Amino acid sequence: MEGSGNILFSGVGGQGILLASEITAYSLLAAGHDAKKSEVHGMAQRGGSVTAQLRYGKKVYSPLIEPGQADIQVAFEMMEAVRYLPYLHKGSKVIVNTQKILPPAVATGQAEYPADVLDNLIKREIVVVPVDAFDLAREVGEVRTANVVMVGAMSPFLPVNPEVYEDIIRARVPAKFRDANLRAFEAGRRVSE
Amino acid sequence: MTNKNKDTLWMSGNEAIALGAYEAGVKVASGYPGTPSTEIMENLSCYEGVYTEWAPNEKVGLEVAIGASFAGSRALATMKHVGLNVAADPLFTASYTGINGGLVLVCADDPEMHSSQNEQDNRNYAFAAKMPMLEPSEPMEAKEMLKTAFDLSEDLDTPVILRITTRIAHVKGVVKKGERIAATDGEISKNPSKLVMLPGMARKRRVYVEERMNRCQNLAETAAFNRIEKGDTKRGFITSGVSYLYVKEAFPDAAVLKLGMCWPLPEKKIREFAGMVDELYVVEELDPFMEIHIKAMGIDCRGKDCVPNQGELNTAIVRNSIDADSKLELFEEVPLPMRPPNMCAGCPHRGIFFNLSRMKVFVSGDIGCYTLGFLPPLSAMDSCVCMGASVSIAHGIAKAVGEGAHDKVVSVIGDSTFIHSGITGLINSVYNDSASTLIILDNRITAMTGQQQNPASGYNMKGEAASQLDLEALCRAVGVKHVYKVNPHDVPETRKVMKEAVEQNEMSVVISEAPCVLLPEMKERKPVSYFTNQENCVGCMSCIRLGCPAISWTTFAEGEAEERGYRKKQKGISKIDEILCNDCGQCASLCKFNAITRKEEK
């Protein structure tokens, strides 16, 4: 299989980053790529910044993305799209959920949420794809599918046919939420296509 | 899973090790949860025909595995790196007794301290305890090496350590299923001259240990897991574990000696490789373990003079530390407000730490979610060393301060950590007449590692009803006269009890009873939340100071307070996010202005 790349998922604990990165990994594997994914469990999961790193290609050795080598970032929160800037390069694509989750210092009035935070990416010639994932998830009738909306919005940037993602969603999401997740994937995909 | 082959799986290192243990025919497995090792036992408990349990601590877990091995079954013990310190006592002598059924200990180190209090390098244990240690680089290899470890254990009559790190435990990769060997049932068979380590017998076994390690070293010279990968010989790399992967990416054309067994080292093979290359590098995370032993062989090599001995490595660090001019120009970080981990909305620990932050006491803390009580705005923890240390450290402080210390020192420990190693500290505090106060945060579960049952939770690893330890009766049984129980969600009431307990001139215990909000039964509750009656809010910030993620503060703009009908001097108002709220009511118990009310249906 041709092609290789590095995908960085970032957000806040509890946003469904794990499922999003799993669907992406399974889709890459099904399309014939080798892949490795790295996560950190434990203390970091308690409401803090969370990342998952996914690498794919013909043969993947290291599970960690090198700084400056993330081709795609899927950010579930605006500030978390900018926190990992040293991992990005000119031309990296950042799919970002235009949601704000206030960190403790902001919520308690000690600091301000930075204004126009995404400009930090745009002015460095990083391609930003903003997605109102919650709004789209609400439109498909299940607000908990925002993470799959994000997978959909990222999907055109990977060498995987949309049918492969849909098969994976069918196979891996509980029956109750399957249709909503498929609709969420399509809604997300339309944002980037 | 839509892979073409149903035997090809996508698994984390921990899932793969569990599968390896099943395939190896493990009969008994015991361990104590600890990031990054926890999921090995959790996954193994899902396989039929393997007995699995959570032990109260790592020492007990390893001893259970030693017992199963003595009875002739294959046995596994799992723990995180610091857990091996607790289990070190049985480990060093099990090295002498050797085994009957295969005995493997999996220890998961945490370089970079993602979820640990130190980053000790447990390869040193293999050297010190004189036993073989295998070190895989990725999930598939971890599974196969676990099986190899059992074979080695039985061939050499030794416990074997499989050492993994966070980037193997929590890395997912492609894993292939294998055949299972059926588990062997144990039987009572006596062999006291091998298993009773009185000095006379131990001296004989000590001689055997030396013979065994020599045999193991010979085997390491030819074993497939120690392999030379031919390549450019200008620079050659000796490496093991996850560092091997970084070397392969940083220097794809170079000659590599990959050591799957990091102790004992294959001296002849290392000499052969050293002779093949112009310049020899040893690339390893943390300590210069292989480097020191290779240098002791009289072989010239480079290592920690360029590769860092702190934190994790990665491809860029390995490349840049050896080729300084290979550095990429990177975008610089943009300063942003930090997003540290925080106790969950509705966490029962918050009420206790809020109260502690308002008492003039030294808070001797312990290991668990509640260590987050250290962070602002609560900032109510003054020390934290290791599992169970809170109680004994408080006692030591009280003894050092002497007269009048009784109301100045409080120790705080979770239910699982108390059972792990806090009980002996409490016995000591009573026996040696301490007058400190211990708060046991009983949230019915081992929470930080992701909800594992423990002896106080009333359930075993498989979720079946089990004997439930009565913490109050235990405290009284060891001689504590003043034992209190509180509901930590009622913050002012809890404060009164804490004050009374602290003022006692004898050892006192406060048991804070409220379940973790992440327990399935807590998540399944009918959603009820608190909400803010903003017209009543006077901006006193009492609720904000709890640091609950569901409560936020909005600062008023110039003149906004008056415009909206508040006092002119009011600086802002607080608001509860009803979706995030978990219905604990701590904020309402603090609010004196009727600005927070409970309501049904989110």
Distance from the first to the final alpha carbon of chain B? 36
Look at residue A44 in the predicted model and tell me its pLDDT: 56
Structure confidence by residue, pLDDT tens digits, B159-192: 999 999 999 999 999 999 999 999 999 999 999 9
pTM of the entire predicted model: 0.96
| Residues B489, A150: Cα–Cα separation, whole Å | 37
Task: Work out the pLDDT band at B601, boundaries 50, 70, 90.
Answer: low
- CB contacts of B138 in chain A (<8 Å) are 36, 63
Domain match, B178 and B33 both: yes
- Rounded to an integer, what distance in angstroms lies between the CA atom of residue A134 and that of residue A15? 11
Residue A137 with chain B: CB contacts under 8 Å: none
Contact flag A42-B316 (C-beta cutoff 8 Å)? no
Contacts B166 to A, Cβ<8 Å: 40
B246 and B150 share one domain: no
Reply yes or no on whether the pLDDT at B114 is more than 60. yes
pLDDT at B205: 98
B488 and B585 fall within a common domain: no
pLDDT in tens, B480-493: 999 999 999 999 99
Q: Which domain holds residue B450?
A: 349-521
What are B380-435's pLDDT values in tens digits?
Answer: 999 999 999 999 999 999 999 999 998 999 999 999 999 999 999 999 999 999 99
Same domain (yes/no): B43, B166: yes
Same domain, residue pair B151 and B281: no
pLDDT of residue B3: 46
Which pLDDT score is estimated for A104? 87
Indicate whether B4 pLDDT > 60. no
> ipTM more than 0.90?
yes
For A:54-113, CB contacts with B below 8 A are: 60-64, 66-68, 79-80, 82-83, 85-86, 88-89, 102-109, 111-113
Query: What confidence tens digit (pLDDT) does each residue in B327-356 have?
Result: 889 999 999 999 988 899 999 999 999 999
Helix intervals (H) in chain A: 17-30, 78-82, 104-107, 119-122, 133-139, 146-154, 162-172, 175-192
Per residue in B225-269, pLDDT tens?
999 999 999 999 999 999 999 999 999 999 999 999 999 999 999
Query: Distance (Å, rounded) from C-alpha A47 to C-alpha B342?
Result: 6
pLDDT above 60: residue B558: yes
How far B246 CA lies from chain A's nearest CA (Å)?
Answer: 6
Read off the amino acid at residue A69. Q
Q: Which residues, numbered 42 to 81 in chain B, qualify as contacts with chain A under a Cβ-Cβ cut-off of 8 Å?
A: none
Per-residue pLDDT, averaged over A51-77, amounts to 97
Domain match, B462 and B590 both? no
Q: How many CB atoms within 10 Å of residue A105? A: 17
Do residues B260 and B363 both lie within one domain?
no
Interatomic CA distance for residues B81 and B55, integer angstroms: 16
Q: What are the tens digits of pLDDT across the range A131-177?
A: 999 999 999 999 999 999 999 999 999 999 999 999 999 999 999 99
Q: What is the CATH number of the domain that holds B460?
A: 3.40.50.970
Return residues 116-175 of A near B (CB < 8 Å): 117, 120, 124, 164, 167-168, 171-172
Residues B303 and B258 in one domain: yes
Residue after which a domain boundary falls, among B167, B197, B222: B222
Q: Which residues of B touch A85 (CB under 8 A)?
A: 331-334
Provide, as residue numbers in chain B, all residues whose Cβ is less than 8 Å from the Cβ of A120.
334
What pLDDT does B160 receive? 99
Is 3.40.50.1950 the CATH number for A5-192? no
Interchain contact B544–A (C-beta under 8 A): yes
**Position A13 confidence tier, pLDDT thresholds 50, 70, 90:** confident
End position of a domain, from candidates B203, B222, B241? B222
Q: Judged by CB atoms within 8 Å, which residues 231-250 of B form the interface with A?
A: 242, 245-246, 248-249
What is the pLDDT averaged over residues B136-146? 98
Judge contact between B120 and B155, C-beta under 8 A: no
Please give the average per-residue pLDDT across B102-117, as a whole number: 97
Q: Quickly list DSSP for B54-85.
A: E-SSHHHHHHHHHHHHHTTSEEEEEEEHHHHH
- The reported pLDDT for the residue numbered A2 is 65
Taking CA atoms, what residue in B is nearest to A12?
A: B339
Predicted confidence at residue A57, as pLDDT, reads 97
Question: Looking at B222, B238, B272, which one is the last position of a domain?
Answer: B222
Whether residues B248 and B201 fall in one domain: no
Judged by CB atoms closer than 8 Å, whether chains meet at A67 and B330 is answered as: yes
Residue B1 has pLDDT above 60, yes or no: no
Are residue B235 and residue B151 in the same domain, yes or no?
A: no
Instruction: Tell whether B195 and B319 lie within a shared domain.
Output: no
Q: H or E stretch including A46?
A: none
Chain B residues lying within 8 Å of A21, measured CB to CB: none
Q: Is-contact B315 A60, C-beta < 8 A?
A: no
**Domain ranges within chain A, ordered by starting residue:** 5-192
Phi then psi for residue A3, to 5 deg, are 95, 150
A84-118: per-residue pLDDT in tens? 999 999 999 999 999 999 898 898 888 999 999 99
Q: Would B332 be classed as within a structural domain?
A: no
Verify that B191 and B282 share a domain, yes or no.
no
* pLDDT recorded at residue A45: 60
Which has the higher per-residue pLDDT, B276 or A193?
A: B276
